[in-house]
């Protein structure tokens, strides 16, 4: 019962006006349902359910979501029925549990096909309620933490799936801490020798890094003295996976990488973010071309911050991120951070509903794909978070995945522009419709009345939106099924 008291205590710390009775009932129900089951580790099965709920509480999710975390495996792994869950806990919690439940009864041609279909089902559930995917991510996090108890083949398969789909999905949802943790956990199983070697080198260098970070932090604190700008300073270190990818990208050894130290400045208002930036640039030499403003132009996953890199007094490069407390919470927990609590009931942030439109639209476009294999390929493309920022002639920015073409851009502007597209001019030069766009490009789409989408366009586009719109038109014309 200690675990239950801990859960209730943590939940009450951020939701003091919410009655936790449902949480206690869910714990008791899961305990009985999984009574005779244990994990591969030998632990009682309930430990997994509690770990999932604990993550959801860490992300400050609402009561129904935390309950769903405790109950998420009852349908799949016990005789419990959906009707029982609905009778015991009501429609909302039952819906969340059903959304997370795997559909093992479905028969598919291959494991790959089954996996693609599971992802499709999961995202369709997400279109109804974003909390479904957050429970699923909490479930995957604990499974990755206990992967050492499984056979090697299963470890590699689960780690590969986590790296390819779950970590990018966490990134897409703005849950950067989770994304990094999933990547490092996967790295350990996918490249065990490289992971062990890099972990040792990073460990050996930790004392030096901490000394350099402390010196940089002290120098920044000194210049901020007397400014009357509220600010707390956090130091951060690179994850093992991001370091490994940088070594690969630059084709350098660990010793040859000049890795920037990382410091975050957290303040109270947007105006003070820019004020802090001005002070930092006045007192420290900024690295040319390193400044990016994600406050005025947020990322698709809601991430906002000012980024700059400076030279510290001792000669080290220091990456600075400046943000408000609200932006910091959003960068840690992403979409999960935007649930609010009011008068004992979970009430979603109205502005957040608007921000989630991109996610809902994206899922709707993915639904339009017939083949599970095509769905999975398109999902992976859209989860790839390398983005390009392309401008309309009027100066409006369209954010597209790397490798996107003028056709993707045309459909991003408007479906009618896409459907009547006959050519494109990028930076005042005529280009082919499969031309890969780059950040900063200015793209003008040439249209012609009466022109319509062609079947081969399906091979030219990268985004789920464009593919869905083209396929929809071709189906209406009887050109494709």
Q: Does position 451 have pLDDT exceeding 60, yes or no?
A: yes
How many residues does the structure list for the chain?
481
Query: Which of 31-45, 139-153, 352-366 has the lowest average pLDDT?
Result: 352-366
Mean pLDDT confidence for 187-200: 93
Summary mean pLDDT of the chain: 83
Mean pLDDT across the stretch 189-203?
91
- The model's pTM: 0.71
Position 381 pLDDT exceeds 90 = no
What fold characterizes domain 2-186?
Hypothetical protein af1432 (1.10.3210)
Positive or negative CA dihedral for 255, 259, 261, 262?
Answer: negative
User: How many other CB atoms are there within 10 angstroms of residue 367's CB atom?
Assistant: 14
3-state secondary structure of 217: helix
Q: In this predicted structure, what is the pLDDT of residue 365?
A: 61
Separation of alpha carbons 312 and 27, rounded Å: 51
Q: How far apart, in whole angstroms, are the C-alpha atoms of residue 87 and residue 327?
A: 39
User: Is pLDDT of 460 > 60?
Assistant: yes
Q: Which residues is 346 bridged to in the sheet? A: 341
Q: How far apart are CA 246 and CA 284, in angstroms?
A: 26
Which pLDDT score, from 0 to 100, does residue 344 have? Answer: 34
pLDDT of residue 104: 33
CA gap 35, 304 in Å, rounded:
45
User: What Cα–Cα distance (Å) separates residue 394 from each residue in 84, 282, 443?
Assistant: 57, 34, 10
pLDDT tens-digit readout, 259-299: 668 899 999 999 999 999 999 999 999 988 889 999 888 77
The per-residue pLDDT for 113 is 60
- On the question of pLDDT at 237 being above 80, the answer is no
The pair of structure tokens assigned to 268 is 């109270």
Percent over 70 (pLDDT), the chain = 81
What's the average model confidence in pLDDT over 27-43? Answer: 91
**C-alpha 252: how far from chain center:** 28
Helices of type H across 146-269: 152-161, 167-172, 176-190, 192-224, 240-250
Check pLDDT > 60 for residue 185. Answer: yes
Active site residue ranges: 76-77
Please check the confidence at residue 36 and state whether its pLDDT lies above 70. Answer: yes
Q: What pLDDT digit, counting tens, does each position of 82-109 carry? A: 999 999 999 999 988 887 774 333 334 4
At residue 395, does pLDDT exceed 80?
A: no
Q: What is the pLDDT of residue 316?
A: 83
Please state, in angstroms and rounded to a whole number, the distance separating the CA atoms of residues 283 and 281: 6
Domain range list for the chain: 2-186, 192-333, 386-476
Superfamily of domain 192-333: Beta Polymerase, domain 2 (3.30.460.10)
In three-state secondary structure terms, 252 is coil
Residues 419-431: tens digit of each pLDDT: 999 999 998 999 9
Answer yes or no: is pLDDT of 131 > 90.
no
As a whole number of angstroms, the distance between CA 302 and CA 3 comes to 34
Average pLDDT over residues 175-182: 89
Give the residues across from 399 on adjacent strands: 389
Mean pLDDT of the region 209-230: 88
H helices present in 340-458, as ranges? 350-355, 357-367, 372-383, 406-413, 415-419
Task: Tell the CATH superfamily of the 386-476 domain.
Answer: Beta-grasp domain (3.10.20.30)
How confident is the model at residue 71, as a pLDDT? 95
Q: How many CA atoms lie within 13 A of 140 on its CB side?
A: 27
**H/E stretch holding 399:** strand 397-401
* Partners of 234 in the β-ladder: 264
């Amino acid at each position: 019962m200690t675990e239950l008291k801990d859960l209730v205590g943590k939940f009450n710390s951020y939701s003091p006006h919410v009655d936790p009775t449902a949480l206690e009932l869910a714990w008791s129900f899961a305990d009985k349902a999984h009574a005779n089951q244990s994990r591969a580790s030998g632990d009682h099965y309930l430990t997994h359910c509690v770990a999932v709920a604990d993550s959801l509480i860490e992300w400050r999710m609402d009561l129904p979501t935390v309950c769903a975390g405790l109950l998420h495996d009852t349908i799949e792994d016990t005789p419990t029925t959906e009707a029982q869950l609905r009778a015991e806990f009501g429609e909302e919690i039952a819906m969340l549990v059903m959304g997370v439940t795997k559909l093992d009864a479905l028969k598919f041609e291959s494991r790959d096909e089954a996996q693609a279909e599971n992802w499709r089902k999961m995202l369709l559930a997400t279109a109804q309620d974003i909390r479904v995917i957050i429970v699923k991510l909490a479930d995957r996090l604990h499974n990755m933490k206990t992967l050492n108890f499984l056979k090697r083949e299963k470890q590699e398969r689960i780690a590969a799936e986590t790296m390819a789909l779950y970590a990018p999905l966490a990134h897409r949802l703005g849950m950067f801490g989770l994304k990094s943790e999933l990547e490092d956990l996967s790295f350990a199983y996918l490249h065990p020798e490289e992971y062990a070697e890099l972990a040792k080198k990073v460990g050996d260098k930790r004392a030096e890094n901490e000394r350099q970070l402390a010196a940089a932090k002290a120098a920044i604190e000194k210049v901020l003295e007397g400014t009357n700008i509220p600010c707390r300073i956090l130091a951060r270190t690179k994850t093992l996976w991001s370091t490994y990818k940088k070594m690969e990208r630059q084709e350098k050894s660990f010793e040859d990488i000049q890795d920037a130290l990382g410091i975050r400045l957290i303040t109270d208002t947007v105006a003070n973010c820019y004020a802090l930036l001005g002070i930092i640039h006045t007192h420290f030499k900024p690295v040319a071309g390193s400044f990016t403003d994600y406050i005025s132009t947020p990322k698709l996953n809601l991430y906002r911050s000012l980024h700059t890199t400076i030279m510290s007094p001792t000669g080290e490069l220091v990456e600075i991120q400046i943000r408000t407390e609200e932006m910091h919470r959003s960068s840690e927990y992403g979409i999960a951070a935007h649930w609010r609590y009011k008068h004992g009931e979970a009430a979603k942030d109205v502005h957040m509903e608007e921000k989630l439109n991109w996610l809902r639209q994206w899922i709707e476009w993915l639904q339009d794909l017939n083949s599970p294999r095509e769905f999975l390929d398109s999902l992976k493309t859209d989860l790839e978070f390398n983005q390009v920022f392309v401008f309309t002639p009027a100066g409006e920015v369209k954010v597209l995945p790397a490798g996107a073409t003028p056709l993707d851009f045309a459909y991003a502007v408007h479906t009618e522009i896409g459907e009547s597209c006959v050519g494109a001019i990028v930076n005042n030069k005529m280009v082919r419709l499969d031309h890969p766009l780059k950040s900063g490009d200015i793209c003008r789409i040439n249209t012609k009345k009466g022109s319509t989408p062609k079947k081969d366009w399906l091979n030219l586009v990268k985004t789920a939106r464009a593919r869905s719109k083209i396929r929809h038109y071709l189906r209406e014309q009887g050109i494709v099924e």
